[in-house]
Each structure stands twice: as structure tokens, then as C-alpha cells.
A and B are shown apart, each in its own frame.
Chain A
């Protein structure tokens, strides 16, 4: 199921990548001589990969709303807002992270559109914040030899945690039907602060994803979004 979905998204991605170029060869007019007005407006969407995780990942609950607003020809104000409940299980511990996150920043379109197309290849940045709790349900300590069986203990809940981080974003958005967009973005996250816990650590931060021992994290999303056109310029 998990992989089927991944391939589905890959396929989706390829479809939306191809879409933008289908018309390139058929159009012979010199685009420099004609001015095409660009649509400005508010684009609102949701992350399909987080939505899908609700169905295939054990005990996962989460969604993300995305929005962007064009302020200049190539410049957009962008934001993401979401909720996540993430269950982590290993041989050593079982724990659930629950919380919400907000990310605000800009996207810069580096793709020159042909004619009246509205596709994007963009890079951008976000400053992000999350507050969350971690519930360490149980953990197991292994002894130096297997003479004694491993011992399992009940953990505790750590509340009122928060984190801030910076995200570097690169992605694409393609208009598949008028005003309807499919998008993909990859994110490189750099953790700036996170609450320190006595004798434990933050294993997962909503929005940031898995927290490794270093400050670097990774993320991505597949979005479907709708542009509410406000004016043309």
C-alpha cells in the first residue's frame, strides 16, 4: 500500500511536469511581441502526502494547509499550517508526538513561462514554529548480556515543548486545469531551537519531521491547490 501510493505520487508528478511542455512545440508565435497578463491572487491547497499517510501509516493523524499570495511577477508570500500526531516505534521505545506547526516565508519563481502559462519552478525559504508534546509510552532497557530478559518500563508525557527552524524550499507547481495546481516541494530544514528534555530528546517535531542528532532535517510535500484569482497584471 505504502509503495503503491508512492508510485502514484511519482506518476502524478511526471504528469504535472509534462503538462507544462505539451504546448511548447505547437506555438510558433514570438512570445516577446505579445504581453500576456498574469493572474494575481490567493492560492490555497493541501498536502496530499500527509493526507495519504492517515490511511497507510500506523496511528498517524495529520494534515497541512498551504497558501501563497503573489506580490510581484516572480515573488510570492507563502505559508503552511498543519497538525500532526506521529507514532514512533523501535525495539527500544514507543512514543507519540502531537502538535501543530506554522511556516511563513517566500517563494521565488525561477521559471520563465511561455505565453500565458502559469507554471512555477521555485526556490524559497520559511521560518517555522511548532509546539508539541511527546508521550513516551514505554521503553526497554537491554542488559549487558542476555542472561536476564530486557526490562520494559512505562514512560511519561512531556508537554509544552516547542521548536523553531528554518526551511530551504525548492519545488514546482503546474497548472493542470484552469486555476487548479499540482505541486511538489522538497525541504531542507535547519533546526534553530528546540525545548530540551531532561534525560530524553525530541525525536520528531511536527512539520520538521524526524529529528536526528544533528540539526538537519528533510521534508517534502505534494500539494493540490486552487488559485482564487483577484486581478490580472
Chain B
């Protein structure tokens, strides 16, 4: 219950005690209903909920280049953007990479065998995403989100040090729980 409406409550309690005899039942109900409506409306949509639409990351899924239907988990795969110290690790055969909202291109370095002790076996491929950003209004509490539409001609470009080929499954990065790109290696 928010503080703003406590004041109504105070008044109502006061009215009820002072007017006990004179106030009609109907009036009491009217005042009560106003109060309860107020409490229902109270700040109810001021928190951006978990299930509300949010900006999505591009989701890559890895497959065996020789048997394209067979999922293949890349060994110790991490990804980073040049100039940023943080890295994102793959989970199973999936890797979720955020795209920059204030740019129309983001290049990720995908490093295979990165998390083991041996530095000499690291192989890096650069994957570049080219896209349009569409800003979509969600709500008062969530504000805006970004939708990404990968370009038709050059949506995803890659070097081929360990990656064999790429297939765009879904060029709209809008909804959660979708796979956008298949990578074969």
C-alpha cells in the first residue's frame, strides 16, 4: 500500500467514527469503493517486470560442419569486443551476444580453447553483425527497448579460422528464446 492513499484511509476512519449515526450506509460504501479503487491503482505498473519485453541478444547455435543437423559444443569458447575487458562464455552449444544500441555494427571476437591453460592453441574468429536498430516504447516502467534487424546482404560476416560457415535463421532480434544464427565448424 502506498503512502499517498493512506491519507484517504485516515479520512475515512475519521468520517466513520464521527458520523457513525448519521452517515448513510450507501455513502459509506461509496467512500469505501473510492478508496479500494485507489489502492488497486496504486503504483501497480511502476516496476518493470521480468516478463516484460526487453532488448534481446543475438543467439548463436553451434553445429557440426560435416553433419549439419548435429549440435556440437565448442571447446572453451569465449567472446569479447575489442577494447572491452569482459568476456562472455558459451553455454553448451549456445552463445548469446548483445549488440550495441548506439551503433549499426558490432564485431565480436570468438576465441576457441580460450579457457584452458594452454595459450598457444587459441584460435580467434571475428564475427561482425550489421543491422538496423528500431527503438520500441514498452511502458512507463520499462521505457524503451531496442529491436535489431540484421541487414539482408551483409547481416553477419565472419573470418574462417575455425568457423566453416554461417546461416541466418532469423534476422529479427526482437523476441526472447529464439535462435538467430547457426554456426558450423
Contacts and interface: CB of A to CB of B under 8 A. Distances in A.
A217 B4 CA distance: 13
Contacts of B141: 90, 92
A168 B33 CA distance: 11
Chain B contact surface mostly: mixed
Contacts of B38: 186, 188, 218
Given A18-B18, A184-B11, A218 B37 contact: yes
B22 A172 contact: no
A69 interface: no
Contacts of B88: 145, 147
B71 interface: no
B41 A199 contact: no
B140 interface: yes
Contact of B14 (A17, A90, A121, A212): A17
Contact of B101 (A143, A170, A203): A143
A123 B27 contact: yes
B19 interface: yes
Contacts of A148: 98, 100-101
Contact of B27 (A18, A90, A121, A153): A121
A172 B48 CA distance: 37
B140 A201 contact: yes
Interface stretch (B123-131, B142-150, B158-166): B142-150
Given A121-B27, A201-B140, A144 B96 contact: yes
A218 B7 CA distance: 13
A186 B34 contact: yes
Interface in B92-139: 96, 98-102, 135-137, 139
A interface: dominant SS: mixed
B137 A212 contact: no
Contacts of A14: 14
Contact of A199 (B31, B135, B146): B135
Given A110-B24, A170-B31, A201-B140, A6 B98 contact: no
Contact of A218 (B11, B41, B144): B41
Contacts of A131: none
Contact of B137 (A10, A91, A145, A200): A200
Nearest to A111: B22
A55 interface: no
A9 interface: yes
A151 B101 contact: yes
Interface stretch (A34-42, A99-107, A134-142): A134-142
B143 A172 contact: no
Interface in B1-55: 3, 5, 7-8, 10-11, 14-15, 18-19, 22-24, 27, 30-31, 34-35, 37-38, 40-41, 44-45, 48, 54-55
A123 B144 contact: no
Contact of B10 (A10, A145, A147, A203): A10
A184 to B, nearest CB: 6
Contacts of A212: 41, 44-45, 140
A96 to B, nearest CB: 15
A139 B135 CA distance: 11
Interface in A141-167: 141-145, 147-148, 151, 153
Given A145-B57, A186-B8, A212-B44, A21 B18 contact: yes
B55 A144 contact: yes
6 contacts: A6-B7, A112-B22, A142-B55, A145-B57, A184-B11, A212-B45
